[in-house]
Structure 1
Amino acid sequence: MTTPLRALSFCVIEDTALFLDLARDRYFRLPESANAAFLASLVNGVAFAPALQSAGLDQFVSLAPLRAQGGNIHTRECADLRGCHFSPYLIARSLWEQRATERRLAKRGMHTVLSELQSALRGQQANRPLGDNGAALVKAFEDSALVRSAVDRCLPRSVALARLLARSGYSCQVIMGVKLRPFAAHCWVQAGHLVLNESVEEAARYTPILVL
């Protein structure tokens, strides 16, 4: 049985805790004193109820314990797509899935959409390593940017790609990451150590805050 996706996740960058509140579709950080109290209350990177209470996050106490994200994801290389052909059919399929994902995010919110995605990614059928057919799907998403800009669409594009891969039986992870100065958030898909829809260099600039 899949563990329900919790509405709060966090990571720590340069002694600063950054949070992702999925229910409200927002990232936030704590005031300096609350941040210090929160970090001091962590136990081996895990926030139990007292840590959340010390930071004034009483509304999230029921979600404890929460483990800090960020330390177990490695971006080593990109998937090799050189052998994949240009496929109008797969491009059209990827564009349809991207638009459908954007509509679901707008209507149902990030928490619901990502909870559904987590269930799909952890399903028994989504366990094959990326092969030629999976790589062809990744290539189609790359080529679809020629038709519809990928700028500021990393979340729906990544969710859509992961859904299609899982539906075809391929295992992958969706990773949401953040950086601190200046603050920015990003999302990409990995299959093991292979980054599928981003460069290794760009993905490495971000610390994972949520891994599906």
Structure 2
Amino acid sequence: MYFRLRDGLYHCQAGRRVIFLDLIHDRYFALPQACGSAFQKLVSRRGEGFDGAHEALSLLIGRGNLIETLVPDGSLSATVIHSVEIDHQARKLPTVHMPTLALALYWELIISIQLRSRALSAVIRRAAEIPSQSRLGSPATGSRLSRMVSAFEYTAFVFGRTNRCLARSLAMFSFCRARGVPVHFVIGVRSDPFAAHAWVQKDAVVLNDTAEQVNLYTPILVLE
């Protein structure tokens, strides 16, 4: 007997707490200590049940968040991504490529409207489905990415900086994906006190924030 998470549910261990992101219902929740310990045991066993599992995990099972299955499916695997080490140098550039800035403003406006009018799960799904022709080997990829990074520094003068991490990060991810630049969109959380944050990174480089800031958070959801 194995267990799997229902669709739209993501997890991580942030500090001493097991935290979940319920993307379908647009909420976060943390497990009590005993249930969290049992869940971590289940994760270490790759979803395979153990004696007393039903009782220890009753909070998750009873709410339909943890489902019995005959084979493991990987839904309990921890989120894996490069640790962020440095900021992108283009964030400090004094100049901006105007056509790129116009597109960055367009994407941030579109994503902002979507986040106000649609469920978060729908906005994220739409971003992940943007057609992308990866140009990983193109010599122009580096300069294209630098222009995008610089442009999103300037969108803050229009949309502001406060409470913009989700919209700006989804906009940057969508723009990069549409232009064939491979990056990762990340949502991270921390506990005691709880907080959530979003950013974009390429390998070990954070593109729209500082390494110091994003390393305060544990990744819970990653799009590529």
1-structure distance, mates of 2:142, 2:54: 43
1:116 aligns with 2:126: yes
The 1:153–1:67 alpha-carbon spacing in structure 2 relative to 1, beyond 3 Å, is same
Tell me what 1:41 maps to: 42
The 1:141–1:66 alpha-carbon spacing in structure 2 relative to 1, beyond 3 Å, is same
- Written as runs of structure 1 = structure 2, the 5 A alignment for 1:24-173 is 24-44=25-45, 46-47=46-47, 54-58=57-61, 59-62=64-67, 65-70=74-79, 72-81=81-90, 85-120=95-130, 125-128=133-136, 130-173=141-184
Letter in 1 for 2:128: Q
**In the TM superposition, what is the alpha-carbon distance from 1:127 to its structure 2 partner?**
4.5
| Cα RMSD (Å) | 2.7
Choose 1 or 2 for highest CA Rg. 2
Letter in 2 for 1:24: H
Tell me what 2:206 maps to: 195
Q: Deviations over 1:156-209 (max 9, x none)?
A: 110110111111110000011011121110000011111100101111111101
Q: Deviations over 1:109-158 (max 9, x none)?
A: 111221222233xx551342641122101110011112221211111110
The two structures have a TM-score, normalised by structure 1, of: 0.84
1-structure distance, mates of 2:114, 2:135: 25
1-structure distance, mates of 2:196, 2:218: 9
Q: Secondary structure at the match of 1:85?
A: coil
Query: In percent, how many aligned pairs have the same letter?
Result: 28
Q: Secondary structure at the match of 1:10?
A: strand
The 1:105–1:56 alpha-carbon spacing in structure 2 relative to 1, beyond 3 Å, is same
The two structures have a TM-score, normalised by structure 2, of: 0.80
Letter in 1 for 2:32: P
Q: Secondary structure at the match of 2:129?
A: helix
The 1:127–1:89 alpha-carbon spacing in structure 2 relative to 1, beyond 3 Å, is closer
8 Å Cα contact 2:42-2:49 kept in structure 1: no
**In the TM superposition, what is the alpha-carbon distance from 1:95 to its structure 2 partner?**
2.0
2-structure distance, mates of 1:136, 1:11: 33
- Ranges in structure 2 where 5+ consecutive residues have no aligned partner: 1-5
1-structure distance, mates of 2:132, 2:101: 27
Letter in 1 for 2:60: L
1:210 aligns with 2:218: no
Tell me what 1:22 maps to: 23
8 Å Cα contact 2:132-2:179 kept in structure 1: no
**In the TM superposition, what is the alpha-carbon distance from 1:73 to its structure 2 partner?**
2.6
2-structure distance, mates of 1:42, 1:125: 35
Letter in 2 for 1:33: A
The 1:131–1:106 alpha-carbon spacing in structure 2 relative to 1, beyond 3 Å, is same
Letter in 2 for 1:163: S
Q: Secondary structure at the match of 1:66?
A: coil
